[in-house]
Amino acid sequence: MKQPRPEPTEQETCQQTAQVIWDHWQSGQVLSKLPEACRPWTPAQGYAAQAQLPTVSGREVVGWKIAATSVNGQLHINVGGPLAGRLLSGQVFKSGATVPSAGNRMRVAEPEFAFAMAQDLTPQTAPYTQQQVMAAVASLHPALEVPDSRLEPFTSAGEAQLLADNACARHFVLGPAAPDLWRDLDLSTYPVHARVAHGHQLKYTRDGTGGNVLGDPRIALTWLANQLSSLGITLQKGHVVTTGTCMVPLELQPGDSASADYGPLGNVNMVFAET
């Protein structure tokens, strides 16, 4: 008599979810929702599935991103607060790079404040204070995130599925470290000026401030440290955290270049590949 197949373990289900996401990431295909057998229904299940992405992809976690750090961003994707996602090796570029456009449906670049960590922040019972988190930071960097989702429409996928989808992470461009004067600045009012061009022709400019990132990029970084702590995850020395867009995302077409000027803190730029 044929034995019934055992029910998959929670880890096996999470790995299946992550495998579906990674397969679609690689193929450039989309799905309207994850298969019911492995679809996460709660944020905890979404984070658990996301945690299997490094295993199924064979990539290392090199940092973290925060999605939906503005009220408008939260309304756009119908979530009640920020979402954390993993930055994976092979997806991170230096300023000036040409970033792949193939298969990317969002087609935006997001100017962000990114922090590199100087020491581990391990899980703890009490919340980390902003002062504790900032004391663990090595450097601030201008950055551009180039997100995308494997879910279509991602705006109605819901928090659990978006977390499994790595909070819409795809590519990331890290600019050079800013001068240390940033530590004495009010980042909540700090201005950023962006421009998008095609060849030598300027298409448009856009402005933003650090206040669009949960009120201050430092607040966003502290949120991330405490979110990871609550999940039992260490924010590791050497990891980069990009804190969310400080302006309305920059719409891109293949062949466009995008740059963000952070004044005395430096600048970052990229080209969105022609094909």
**CATH code: domain of residue 221:** 3.90.850.10
Please provide the average confidence, as pLDDT, over all residues in the chain.
95
Instruction: Indicate whether 265 pLDDT > 80.
Output: yes
Judged against a pLDDT cut of 80, whether residue 51 lies above it is answered with yes
Q: How high is the pLDDT of residue 275?
A: 80
pLDDT at 225: 98
Per-residue pLDDT at 1? 53
How would residue 4 be classed by pLDDT, with cut points 50, 70 and 90?
Answer: low
Q: Whole-angstrom Cα distance, residue 16 to residue 11?
A: 9
- CA nearest neighbour of 84 among 258, 260, 271, 230: 230
Model confidence at 117, in pLDDT bands (50, 70, 90)? very high
Report the pLDDT averaged over residues 192-196.
98
Q: Is 28 left (phi over 0), alpha (psi -120 to 50) or beta?
A: left
Domain that holds residue 189: 61-272
Count the domains in the chain: 1
Question: Pairing mode, if any, of strands 240-245 and 250-251?
Answer: unpaired
Beta-bridge mates of residue 171: 146
Report yes or no on 72 lying in a domain.
yes
Report if residue 226 sits inside a domain. Answer: yes
Global pTM exceeds 0.75 = yes
